[in-house]
Amino acid sequence: MINSTLNPYLNSNTSLGIDQAYFSILNLYLNPVIFYAIAWEAYTGNGIPIATLEPHSNTTLKISTKYPLHIYYQSIETDKVYEYCHTTYTFKEHGSYGWNISSGSLCSNIYVLHEPTESYLPILAAFIIYVLLAILWTTFKVIIRVIKGKLSPNNIYDDLDRLQEAENATNLVVRTTKFSTRIHSVDTFRGIAILLMIFVNNGGGKYIFFNHSAWFGLSIADLVLPWFAWIMGLMITVSKRTELRLTTSRIKITLYCLRRSAILIFLGLMLNSKDSESLHDLRFPGVLQLLGVSYFVCAILETIFMKPHSQDILHQFGRFAMFRDILESWPQWLIMAGIVTTHTLITFLLPISNCPKGYFGPGGEYHFRGKYINCTAGAAGYIDRLIFGNHTYNHTENFLYGQILRYDPEGLMNTISAIFIVYLGVHAGKILLLYYQCNSRVIRWFLWTVFTGIIAGILCNFETQGGIIPISKRMMTLSYVLICSSFAFLLYALLYVLIDYKQFWNGAPFVYAGINPIFLYVGHILTKGLFPWSWNIAFPSHASLLAMNLWTTSLWTLIAYLLYRKDIIITV
């Protein structure tokens, strides 16, 4: 008998939950057969035994609809085991499906007994509601300005195009705030990252693409941390250049970087203590720890090598002046090349007992038939287990791959990868500072978009799990770092044009969240699961969970807006 409690697919007569469907299998064999299923993403030649199907019976199973499933059955005939009817099918939530199998390996196509629900309609509804609210808010602001006499009715169209413009040019007094001196495209980018992080950390409506990938591939949730690290790098360039121009001592800047990194690491340990029962199992790595270390490395490099003022370009670089963003920081690039090379060599050459070199997989029970069960995360996982021991991420049950070893998605090797993400953001900041025309900046950001995207594609062979270095957020592989940075370059270029150059948009509401991102991150972790940010739902569904998660995100957006109105900026 198969122990159904160990299976991710339960044979039950209870009602369907989120991402579940019924699957009725009519077995016309004269002997029992074993039904197997596994997510196609995790299929490497074997499946998970789900149920024993009795002869001449109709068995109804409850199966997962999160991923396309690869299914087949196994029959024992004359002391030999045969596998029949391998097929892959995408089941949909709350549908009911049928499948007929009979002797002679005859199988019907999978057919629909009851139509599934449209599980993505809540996302469409939420999008329409937010768009309508944005239109109503914009219209309200225009009407108020018309009533106050700051705008004539004939100029309403121009105002809609440039809502970000300040008071009427005839005003003699200009109010300067902390916010008015900031780069709005940077705050908007950072706000997008932090609000997405809050949304996905709270569940993302339990939609699979709003949650982190099981191991390989790329989802929306996988973008938020590298984006936050990337934009942090861009601001390192701006802030360090400003500090050096003010003739601040490089030693003082170094001490400030050390203090800021220490605060981030301490905050990260404090947040980790929420999930620990004692210091014995306190998780040492974490998101803020990763950001703190990667910030310190890149900030120190800029403090040491950055020039306070750009020298005469033609005299310094001659015909290569168009590449001054790279040539001016060649020592930093040389160090980054050394860091990336060292990381890659460790990944591919570090010997691990009973594990292949260069292994990027999850290990576990179901990856390659459990052949690499003790090899979770390859060299990165081995180093984390060796250095941190029990002080690592303690979630060892993976939905697709079963029980895996402890490892840490923000461990030592992943933090080294994050340093490169931050430095690519630093370089985006160099482009912002060294080139003064919008076209020059945007073209270079776009070229980096293409360059990093192509290199990432070559490394992973433009496949989810393929190539020399597959895309994996869990291990922050080089292909993952490059593809996330590619999207970051592209997104920032668009925001820069729309917000800072053309001024078509003021960045709201994301720009408010980008002013105090660390405060919002720490706050949402501390209040997670507490009312009024969230509450228990008796019978959860995608719609109810999405509504609650959007409410949580909106509430933190409102808090960010109130801080902006009070001109409060909380920094570390």
The torsion angle over the Cα atoms of residues 154, 160, 165 and 169, rounded to 10 degrees, is: 0
Phi, psi of 541 (to 5 degrees): -140, 170
Q: How far from chain centre, in Å, is Cα 267? A: 21
C-alpha to C-alpha distance for 55 and 423, rounded to whole angstroms: 62
Neighbouring residues of 137: CB distance < 8 A, sequence distance ≥ 6: none
Q: Is the separation of the CB atoms in 476 and 418 below 8 Å? A: yes
What's the Rg (C-alpha) of the chain? Answer: 27
- DSSP label of 88: E
∠ Cα 101 102 105 (to 5°): 90
The torsion angle over the Cα atoms of residues 234, 235, 241 and 245, rounded to 10 degrees, is: 160
Point out which residues pair with 102 in neighbouring strands: 106
Exposure string of 434-446, with b = 16+ CB inside 10 Å and e = fewer, is bbeeeeebbebbe
Neighbouring residues of 84: CB distance < 8 A, sequence distance ≥ 6: 72, 73, 74, 75, 101, 105, 107
Active site residues: 212
Report DSSP letters for 480-506, one per residue. Answer: HHHHHHHHHHHHHHHHIIIIIIS-S--
Structure tokens at 519: 């405060």
The closest of 386, 318, 329, 319 to 352, measured between CA atoms, is: 386
Number of alpha carbons in the 13 Å side-chain half-sphere of residue 568: 10
Please report the beta strands in 78-171, taking only residues with DSSP state E, as ranges in sequence order: 80-89, 96-102, 106-107, 111-114
Number of alpha carbons in the 13 Å side-chain half-sphere of residue 166: 12
| Pairing verdict, β 106-107 and 111-114 | unpaired
Neighbouring residues of 80: CB distance < 8 A, sequence distance ≥ 6: none
Find tokens 């005469």 and name the residue: 312
C-alpha to C-alpha distance for 336 and 421, rounded to whole angstroms: 10
Report DSSP letters for 322-344, one per residue. Answer: GGHHHHTTHHHHHHHHHHHHHHH
Q: Is the separation of the CB atoms in 184 and 511 below 8 Å? A: yes
Find tokens 């984390």 and name the residue: 384
C-alpha to C-alpha distance for 240 and 229, rounded to whole angstroms: 16
